Amino acid sequence: MTKNRKGSLLFGAVFFAAVLLFAGVASAAEMPTVETPVIVTTCGQSPGAVMVKMSLMQSQITPVENNNTIIASDLKGKGYKTLIVTTGTSGKGMGAAGTDVNKEIARCKEVIEAAKAEGMTVITAHVEGMARRTDSADQASIDSIMPLGDAMLVVVGSNEDGYFTKLAEENKKPLIEAKDALAIGVSLKELTK
């Protein structure tokens, strides 16, 4: 075998391996499809879920419901196609709901597991900016819930330090970044089926 032929074979093998590696990375971070009906909840009883619902409605992604106390059994057989779970906590909201961050995390983990069992797309989100990244309760909801989605959704104001970009890369999840809360629906509209 000639030297040039060996070099060509080696280059071809390396190129093929690189293509396979890239394909694996791309498929690990494949953007999911957003189908309706959509159900939105919050891990932390903050207003983020309502903001997401309003933005989706404004972009005519309907039907969309918001239920901040939904439990896993509420999903069974209801026909929902997409679940969006917002993170970032409200002490006032959790107090009014009679819950705490650990109970919220447990509830949302169960809901996400049930959604996946129903074949739903799950999007985890942080849409209220740095104001919902100030304490340990915020961080607990983010760390526990964000990696569980098929994709992560954030607004630019939540990701000023690149935290969610890094989190998405570490968990091999696609990152959807909306300009602000009003643009969430526009960003998700591009993924609708």
Q: Any idea what DSSP says for residue 60?
A: T
Q: What is the pLDDT of residue 29?
A: 67
Counting residues of the chain whose pLDDT is more than 70, the rounded percentage is: 85
The string of pLDDT tens digits covering residues 98-129 is 778 899 999 999 999 999 999 999 999 999 87
Amino acid at 116: K
Q: What is the pLDDT of residue 129?
A: 79
Q: What is the pLDDT of residue 1?
A: 52
Q: How far apart are CA 79 and CA 133, in angstroms?
A: 33
Q: What is the mean pLDDT of residues 3-31?
A: 45
The string of pLDDT tens digits covering residues 39-80 is 999 998 888 999 999 999 999 999 999 999 999 999 988 999
Q: How confident is the model at residue 2 (pLDDT cuts 50, 70, 90)?
A: low
For 49-67, letters b (16+ CB in 10 Å) and e give bebbbbbbeebebeebebe
Q: Any idea what DSSP says for residue 90?
A: -
Q: How confident is the model at residue 134 (pLDDT cuts 50, 70, 90)?
A: confident
In sequence order, what are the residues at sequence separation of 6 or more whose Cβ sits closer than 8 angstroms to the Cβ of residue 184?
A: 51, 52, 55, 56, 125, 127, 153, 155, 178
Mean pLDDT (the chain) is: 85
Q: What is the pLDDT of residue 10?
A: 44
Q: What is the pLDDT of residue 100?
A: 83
